[in-house]
Amino acid sequence: MSTLTIEGWCKTSTGQRSTPVEDIQFYLTGNDHLRLEQAEEYLQKSHLSEVMVDVDMSTLDLSMSQEYSPLSDCQLRVYLDPDSNRGHFHLVGHRASDGSLIYTNSVLIAQMT
């Protein structure tokens, strides 16, 4: 479906500020996009603040700086913009070496079409 290249961030502990990392590139399939749309609809109906969507690491084709990889897990965090009620998502995971949170800037789900 589409390869995304998005600015990434690293947060080593709860009290620390996130620091920028090089761009993170990954591939989302048509099934991934469908699950993002379903998550957006679910949030609009349930009024929950966010939901996590699993990704298939075998098709994700994740590419990022060796300093921050590999990741031990990856998910897509989906949430609604409070003003527009439109769904956004970003990739989140944890660096395998120390558990630091690695994530990308968010993308509007509708932009994926």
pLDDT in tens, 57-84: 899 999 999 999 999 999 999 999 999 9
**Token pair for 5:** 């290249």
pLDDT on residue 113? 59
pLDDT on residue 23? 95
Q: Is the pLDDT of residue 1 over 80?
A: no
d(CA 53, CA 36): 7
pLDDT on residue 2? 87
Average pLDDT, rounded, for the chain: 93
d(CA 49, CA 65): 31
pTM of the model: 0.92
